[in-house]
Amino acid sequence: MIPLVDVKAQYAPLVPQLKERFAEVLESGRFIFGPEVEAFEREAAAYLGVPHAVGVANGTDALVLALEAMGVSRGDEVVCPAFTFYATAEAIARVGATPVFCDIDPATLNLDPADVARRITARTKAIVPVHLFGRPAPLGELVALGVPLLEDAAQAFGAPGIATTGVCSTFSFFPTKNLFALGDGGLVACTDAGVADRVRMLRFHGSRDKQTFELVGTNSRLDAVQAAALRIFLPRLAGWNAARREAAARYADLGLGDAVELPPDEAGHVYHMYVVRTTERERIASLLGEHGIACAAYYVTPLHLQPAMAHLGYAPGSLPETERAAAENLALPMWGGIGPEAQERVVATVRAAVGVAA
């Protein structure tokens, strides 16, 4: 079996270091906040090139807390893509604002700045670009529209150029991400000190000291065990991302592009997922499954057509490029360290599925 993502292949060589670091945490007895979390926040901020990084419980909480800290609330509108995971729009709705869905660029699958510009109104409080599948969104074009950016960077830790443009950027450390924890975890990176201070309070019941409560917050904390693991993984991220880029180039070299449309290989792409496009998705997926090769189609029902968003009034056909991408995308096996032999099997099977000669 070739999995879609092999997380264990990445952390297995580091198990002795992980056990040593976990033993230190156990010995310290500090599991909530404490030196491991503080150290990871400093190291993550330095890696991203931002002044502030705040650990939280997961990537969804990161989005919600960032929106709240930016002052987004009931009556506001927030522009975002519909071709993304549900948490992007869910977080906007959670703070009482209205998601305004925009179409995507058909090549990059990221927000189309021209469509964003058409949908900005006097009620627009923020734009949430998603760095989808590890490819940075067009931040320069989006920030030029004059609306604060909240970057949803859950799939793109380590991609160049992210996190320093938006007021906030949010990250998930779900185990399949480029930078992953051994469970749930999240981060809010901030370029604004005041916003970072509000995120710190909001993650801890709106308090600085557990005695005085200045805001109505929640309980969303990155725990010390996960921070300890992340501190071991972070220095290796650049190598893992480089290995992903090498694997993407290998897919092209092996002739995958003869059978499907490949993702454009821009310099900043860190390939959280390797997603191709094809009108023969069902046929290819079926043969891959028969050969023990995992694959996945993402966001098959895009957010503007999800039942929970029906009240917003979007109809089929309203975001044509989004809906076409939903019907055609297919993710193939990708992780830092996938071997040539596995990729050769994937490519041979895809080519056979659509009748391309070996």
**What's the pTM value of the predicted model, to 2 decimals?**
0.96
Mean of per-residue pLDDT scores for the chain: 97
- Beta partners for residue 170, in sequence order: 152, 188
Q: How confident is the model at residue 125 (pLDDT cuts 50, 70, 90)?
A: very high
**Mean per-residue pLDDT, 194-216:** 96
Is residue 6 a contact partner of residue 298, using CB atoms and an 8 Å limit? no
DSSP 234-270: GGGHHHHHHHHHHHHHHHHHTTGGGTSBPPP--TT--
Is the model's pLDDT at 357 over the cut of 80? no
Crossing angle, helix 237-253 and helix 340-353, to 10 degrees?
Answer: 40
For the record, the structure tokens of 205 come out as 């019941």
Is the model's pLDDT at 358 over the cut of 80? no
Q: In Å, how far are 39, 47, 48 from 164, measured between CA atoms?
A: 20, 11, 8
- φ/ψ region of 161 (left if φ > 0, alpha if ψ in -120 to 50, else beta) reads left
- HSE-CB at 346 with a 13 A cutoff on CA atoms is 30
For the record, the structure tokens of 335 come out as 């992780």
pLDDT tens digits, 2-19: 999 999 999 999 999 999
Domain annotation for the chain: domains and CATH numbers:
7-235 (3.40.640.10), 238-353 (3.90.1150.10)
**Model pLDDT, residue 356:** 85
pLDDT tens digits, 223-277: 999 999 999 999 999 999 999 999 999 999 999 999 999 999 988 999 999 999 9
**Mean per-residue pLDDT, 85-100:** 98
| CA–CA separation, 57 and 222 (whole Å) | 5
